[in-house]
Structure 1
């Protein structure tokens, strides 16, 4: 019987990182300011490897290349999704990402639409989400003149908030926020503004003004969220977003809940609690321990599964274009 693919995270040092990936999730972190946990990734800048079963030690990009049956023989040159946990100990740069067309033409990789589930936020914490410019010319002028307070749209956030961040959206995660991010598998970021701070080399970090003006959606429009919640006994499933690239859900498990496959494969992260993933082949049951900070993929051959325990999980699956 096919097993779930449990993955070892890859950690990324960032100028704005902290230590919550250790203190909250218990990860054994390398030295430095660790800002990102690439929890499920086949991207060349941080590829996870499998920790269990017949594919133990294999990297996710290898499985995508050589064992496409695990993913329902889905098409595409690269594994399309990336799950991260971000610990913003300081403000992230104000940034924007291209769409697929611009990203492939100029950077040789996919664009980046993403979404955020706020795991935790200090009181008063804010994100930058969108802008107030009414035309591309006004956007360019406001950036050139450094009118950041006029340009940038700030929103206070709290634990449990969810944001859809399509490509072309100017955005930044503020200090004191921890999020789980589901995104297209891309590492292309155009910095609009970085608070004039200096990196470890004493230099201000590179900005990408021309590209940012090129790809920003003007004027900004908040994408509409059609959040749906379904109760299953004492458990619940919340569908946060459906996009061409990914669909994202929260599974709140209390007791025993059974799921049926809805897509070629499913990505899952445990944010709180503990329990078990139970699979059956009709004769025998196979149980896998789940703990806070576990990340795994349910491959195509697993058509149904059972979750037992008290847990909060975020799950995603490829959308129609992924």
Structure 2
């Protein structure tokens, strides 16, 4: 039996740096004008998605992973491995770094490490991001952090819509003001803040920094995450491979017309970032549009996409 797509209700997180782009651009019903994150496809305990429709309506993705592993091709593991977010950086995010699996397992209660990647959906004209640092040795890194030489330490890159960045664990990074991003990452919520611009929250408190951990896990000298990109043009669709890496492969699908596809991965995470289309499985048609997030489970087999839309698609 062909397995139908699993549509998910987004979860939202208010953040000191958030804004309204998730409502303005995606039509989401956000909790406030400081909404920074849409957890679009998540089984993480800090924000598991609920299935929006179909036979599993009302169940969480974490419950499906636990009780219906056949939907995910029988993939092993004690937790759903990936997490898709859409981030509205209305202001600069803190400069941060994430641990790898081994460090997180030891120091963060068995949490996964966090390798991630960003697809720039939209950004203001002069937008940039922090990606890496200039220190050549660990001692130089520590000296520059302790002296607050952020201009000397941080490597800033100009960005534009459609850019893609692969951010392995150990990479110093930060999204900056005026950026809307789809992030594919390991299912982890561990972040070590290095610098937060000395800003304060509504109570006048500075947010906690995690310098000891950050110094432990930062890769020195910085190494760019390598994304081996390629493009395949088929009838009705252009598939751009953004990255094939240890924890995930990520693609940009540009549908224009009628595309016939086959689901061969254990499961596919799909987020529509522009336009609308019909997803056709046999005699069943589903409408998808900008802001729709769903999983194509194992044995989804052959399907069609008809319309004009863009998706970010990932799998383990």
* Same fold, TM-score > 0.5, yes or no: yes
Q: Deviations over 1:89-108 (max 9, x none)?
A: 00000000000000111002
Q: Deviations over 1:132-169 (max 9, x none)?
A: 00111111110000000000000000000000000000
Q: Deviations over 1:258-309 (max 9, x none)?
A: 11123100000000011111112xxxx1100011100000011212211110
Aligned ranges 1:172-187 → 2 under 5 Å: 172-187=174-189
- Aligned-pair CA distance for 1:235: 2.1
Tell me the SS of whatever aligns to 1:44.
Answer: coil
Aligned to 1:294: 292
Tell me the SS of whatever aligns to 1:224.
Answer: coil
- Aligned-pair CA distance for 1:199: 1.3
Tell me the SS of whatever aligns to 2:55.
Answer: helix
- Aligned-pair CA distance for 1:236: 0.3
Choose from 288, 306, 309 the match for 1:311.
Answer: 309
Structure 2 residue 238 is the aligned partner of structure 1 residue 232: no
Aligned to 1:272: 274
- Aligned-pair CA distance for 1:34: 0.2
Alignment root-mean-square deviation, CA: 0.8
User: Where does structure 2 lack aligned partners over 5 or more consecutive residues?
Assistant: none
TM-score by length of 2: 0.98
Q: Aligned partners of 1:225, 1:186: CA distance in 2, in Å?
A: 21
Q: Aligned partners of 1:77, 1:45: CA distance in 2, in Å?
A: 16
User: Where does structure 1 lack aligned partners over 5 or more consecutive residues?
Assistant: none
Q: Aligned partners of 1:233, 1:71: CA distance in 2, in Å?
A: 28
Structure 2 residue 113 is the aligned partner of structure 1 residue 115: no
Tell me the SS of whatever aligns to 1:47.
Answer: coil
Q: Aligned partners of 1:246, 1:132: CA distance in 2, in Å?
A: 28
Greater shift, 221-230 or 244-253, is seen at: 221-230
Q: Aligned partners of 1:145, 1:262: CA distance in 2, in Å?
A: 51
Structure 2 residue 165 is the aligned partner of structure 1 residue 163: yes
Greater shift, 219-228 or 250-259, is seen at: 219-228
Aligned to 1:74: 75
TM-score by length of 1: 0.96
Q: Deviations over 1:231-279 (max 9, x none)?
A: 0134200001011110000100001111112310000000001111111
Aligned to 2:63: 62
Aligned to 1:88: 89
